[in-house]
Amino acid sequence: MKKIINFLTLKNILLIIASLFSMIMIIAQLMYYLYGALTWGIFFLSLGIIYTSFLIAHTFPKLPIVTFLREIHQNNLEDIKEQELEEAK
């Protein structure tokens, strides 16, 4: 169970979502190309959207609020372990 939780960290989840989103954008670019409506503006806009989605996935887990929430979660887990040890005595 720990391996699954470690794999599914916030950064990995956001990167998976960004990858799926980029595949959708690439398929949309292909459809524009096949219909003959692909312009340089649409092309660079799609690349910019893909880039920002990966940038958000890369920088979001490093924000102070996210690290603060992780610290709170770790403290809660430690408190639960301490309470279990006290109840076992």
Single out the residue of 8, 6, 16 nearest to residue 58, CA to CA: 16
Say how many CA atoms lie within 13 Å of 29 toward its Cβ.
18
Looking at residue 18, its pLDDT comes to 87
Looking at residue 66, its pLDDT comes to 67
Domain limits, the chain? 2-88
pLDDT in tens, the chain (89 residues): 455 555 567 777 888 888 898 999 899 888 988 998 888 888 898 889 889 888 888 887 777 776 777 788 888 888 888 888 888 77
Looking at residue 27, its pLDDT comes to 92
Query: CB of 38 within 8 A of CB of 66?
Result: no
Q: Other C-beta atoms within 10 Å of 48: how many? A: 10
